[in-house]
Every structure is written in C-alpha cells, then in structure tokens.
Structure 1
Amino acid sequence: MSRIEIKSPLPGTFYRRPAPDKPDFKKEGEDVEPSDTIGLVEVMKTFIEVHAGVTGRGIVFLVDDAEAVMAGQVIAEVGE
C-alpha cells in the first residue's frame, strides 16, 4: 500500500487538538476525508487549520503535538 504525504502549509507550531482540554482532531490510525481537519499550525498567535486534503486510511503523524514545523514539512501520512 502506498502512502500519501500531508504537508504543513506554513512554518509554525503544529497542534493536534483545538485546545489543551479537547481531544485530538484525528487519532492515529483513523481514516480521513479531504475536508477533515487534522491539526492547527500557529503562527504569531494566529491558528490555521490543516486539512487532510486527500481521502486516505490509517493516518500516521510524523510530528508530535506542539512541535515546530517548516513549510512543506511532512506532518502525516495516510494509505490510499
């Protein structure tokens, strides 16, 4: 099974949940649809939603919650 990469649209800090007391947008292993939010990238106190952009199975995150990311960095992968 080939994997599809989901990349960060911009540099910042990647968050897997909408707030510290809320559950993750997506848990490891869940399927995704293009419009699904998988996380947020925070840049200068502005939070940008990161959408899967693809239909895929079994999301695997390659960065940790609250980890700094660069624009174009692969943050997750899904199976086709």
Structure 2
Amino acid sequence: MSRQIISPLPGIFYRKPGPGKDPYINEGDTVSAGQTIGLVEIMKQFSEVRAEFDGVLEKFEVDDFGVVNPGDVIALTS
C-alpha cells in the first residue's frame, strides 16, 4: 500500500536544493522518516517537504517546478 507525501502549503515544488545540484531523492530510492524530498517555495520562502515514513519513493506526482496547493500529493512511498 502506498503512502502519500503531502504538500504543507501552496507554492512551487523543487526536487533540488539549488540550480546545478543533485535531487534530494530519486524515484526508487530508499527514504527515511524525516528525510527531505524537496522544497516548496512561496514568495522566496523555502519550506522543506519531508517523508513521514521509512520506505521506498515510488513516484513523484508533481513535476520539478510544479505548482502545488496545500494537501496536494507530492510523492508516493511504499
């Protein structure tokens, strides 16, 4: 059964900590509870999006630079 990682607020989702940097995590990677999987930016304020459970990141539901709203599913883990 998949578990959802939800956006805490509205903004733009980023999979990388900055231009030219590697993504925080890729699909198929193992993820730990509390691990950052991306950032949501709103008005130049960046908030980390963290996994709530240990597992494997199955799929991102939002593209890099995609618009998210509070409660949107960003990724699925198993």
TM-score category of the 2 structures, normalised to the smaller one: over 0.9
TM-score by length of 1: 0.93
Structure 2 residue ranges without an equivalent (≥5): none
2:21 is matched with which residue? 22
Moved over 6 A (4+): none
Q: Is the 8 A contact 2:34 2:52 kept in 1?
A: yes
Shift of 1:20: 1.4
**Is 1:31 aligned with 2:30?**
yes
CA shift at 1:45, angstroms? 0.3
Match runs of 1:8-19 below 5 Å: 8-19=7-18
Paired residue type of 1:50 = V
How many Å apart are 1:57 and its aligned residue?
A: 1.6
* CA displacement 1:19-68 (0-9 Å, x = unmatched): 01100000111111111100000011000011111111233101100000
Ranges in structure 1 where 5+ consecutive residues have no aligned partner = none
Partner of 1:54: 53
On the 8 A contact 2:5/2:73 being kept in 1, the answer is: yes
Q: TM-score, normalised by structure 2?
A: 0.95
What is the count of residue pairs matched by the alignment? Answer: 78
Q: Find the aligned partners of 1:14 and 1:58 in 2 and give their Cα distance.
A: 16
State the AA in 2 paired with 1:53.
Answer: E
